[in-house]
Amino acid sequence: MNKNIFCVDIGGSKLICGALNQDGKILDTFRAEYPKNYTVDTVTTLILEGYRKLKQYNFYACGVAVPGLCDFASGRWLYSPFSGLGDIPIAQLIGHMTKLPTFADNDVNVSALAERRFGVCKAIDDFLWITVSNGIGGGLYLNGKLYRGKSLSAGEIGHFVVEEGGRKCGCGNYGCLEAHASGASITEIYYEKTGLDISAKEIADLARNGDKTALEIWQSAGSYIGKAAAYAVNLLNIDTVVLGGGAAEAFDLLATTATENLNKNLFSKANPNVKILHSAPGRYAALMGCAALVLENKKEN
């Protein structure tokens, strides 16, 4: 019987395909880095390679997470800020290659679905999911379902201005959360202060081993995340904020200042007991979200 799910997390710089069961357990993976100036053909060729390596797991459907804008209803990948790729019928292309019913959505949205189905929000109907990775994105889960917004871009918390006249953001504005607290910005800020060009993960390890500059940068990132989260909570009156994605693996370094600055900026009488939680799916939220997306939409054969 076909009961597993073929999951495809199309990242900005790399691809992960996974064989997942209906409990969100990752049975096997296939990973590939994209070459420079990759095209949609590069991506689909790698996905087919991943499918061939994993198809022994007997899939009944496929879920796809894409960076940038995606029209869930039509399965079209509309635009990716990393590669400039856009207007691609991604669900149709992968469905054609694999002969599987295929669903596609934005990677941050499906991460929120993963948290709800498999993670720390199983019993929580209203929460904000924040991806802290190379960039920062947000997914809104409200009244027990994903809120996608009028033109599919709800939850763009990465572009909340948290520092007037602050660092330049990829969106063209200054002082966005993404420019001050993403993994990429942590690498940049550390480089500016020390001349060392190392990854956010390496900077986190240094912070844990007593590097004061590294610790200050992570704490500052946490503080900005707390500020942006407070604005979102004041607007939505939700009591749960979940941090996931690769850079949120440094939750131990972010959580204290994030919580402090959240509480400082909250209308606290209206929003008692707001919590910032660490995602359970963590860095695999988007991949597990592909399975959650399928489970929301398609029963096994």
Footprint of Zn ion (CB under 5 A): 159, 169, 171, 173, 176
Shorter beta-carbon distance to Zn ion: residue 148 or 159 = 159
Structure tokens at 104: 């596609």
CA atoms of 272 and 237, how far apart (whole Å):
10
Q: How far is the CB of 169 from Zn ion (least distance, A)?
A: 3
CA atoms of 106 and 90, how far apart (whole Å):
12
Shorter beta-carbon distance to Zn ion: residue 173 or 297 = 173
Q: How far is the CB of 62 from Zn ion (least distance, A)?
A: 32
Q: How far is the CB of 158 from Zn ion (least distance, A)?
A: 6
CA atoms of 274 and 258, how far apart (whole Å):
12
CA atoms of 223 and 184, how far apart (whole Å):
17
Q: How far is the CB of 81 from Zn ion (least distance, A)?
A: 10
Find residue 71's DSSP bridge partners: 76
Shorter beta-carbon distance to Zn ion: residue 171 or 215 = 171
Q: How far is the CB of 178 from Zn ion (least distance, A)?
A: 5
Shorter beta-carbon distance to Zn ion: residue 142 or 152 = 152
Shorter beta-carbon distance to Zn ion: residue 51 or 224 = 224
Q: Residues 6 or more apart from 135 whose CB is under 8 A from it?
A: 12, 81, 158, 170, 178, 182, 184
What's the Cα-to-Cα distance from 178 to each of 139, 159, 222, rounded to whole Å? 15, 6, 12
